[in-house]
Amino acid sequence: MASEAHPISLTVNGRPVAASVEPRRLLVDFLREDLGLIGAHIGCEQGVCGTCTVLLNGASIRSCITFAVQADGAEVSTVEGLASHGELHPLQDEFSDKQGLQCGYCTPGMLMRACEILAQNPDPTLTQVREAIASNLCRCTGYQFIAEAVLAAAARMRESKEVAS
């Protein structure tokens, strides 16, 4: 049952947020309803499908089984933070180019998971990509073009990193 609200403060996509939430309020509802960040979707509400994936301090989590209060003091990243100045992130661009999405519902979770994968390993093999995205279900694509898009984005991100350095 409802009980007293708790104050929390966190960083969401680089911006500080302070709010007051019920202890039982789920992070996904907090993001979607309180902050209007509708990119994190609700799929199974049991932490299985990965549709609600966001990054908490850089690590992917299921926001449908995480309480908002657990994000107190943390840095949360969502799909809304991926594009910069209106320009798509290489992952977003390659998902479009390779048709790594159909209905688009799992896409934000997949994109955030892919960000994490490439942060950990900028040059993964196809098998490593498949193993890593097996955390997230997609019901439309059969994963083939998602994996292709992640590999293509990885190559682009490595190139731009080399240019930058």
- Residues of this chain that interact with another protein (CB under 8 A) are 1-2, 22, 24-25, 32-33, 37-46, 48-49, 51, 78-80, 82-83, 88, 92, 95-99, 101-108, 111, 126, 129-131, 133-147
Cβ distance to another protein smaller for residue 15 or 165: 15
Nearer to another protein, 87 or 162 (CB): 87
Task: Considering the complex, state which of residue 34 and residue 75 has its C-beta at the smaller distance from another protein.
Answer: 34
Single-letter residue type at 145: F
Q: How far is the CB of 79 from another protein (least distance, A)?
A: 4
Least CB distance from residue 165 to another protein, whole Å? 28
Minimum CB distance to another protein, residue 162 (Å): 25
Can you list the pairs that 39-46 forms with residues at least 24 positions away whose Cβ atoms lie under 8 Å? Answer: 39/78, 39/79, 39/80, 39/108, 40/78, 40/79, 40/108, 40/109, 41/105, 41/106, 41/108, 41/109, 43/105, 43/106, 43/109, 43/137
Toward another protein, which CB reaches closer, 103 or 119?
Answer: 103
Closest contact distance (angstroms) between CB of 126 and another protein is 8
Report the SS3 class of residue 112.
helix
- Stated as kind and residue range, the H or E segment containing 11 is strand 6-12
Min dist. Cβ of residue 160 to another protein (A) = 19
Q: Alpha helices of 71-143 — where are they, by DSSP H?
A: 90-97, 107-120, 126-133
User: How many residues are recorded in the chain?
Assistant: 165
Name which of 76 and 163 has its Cβ closer to another protein.
76
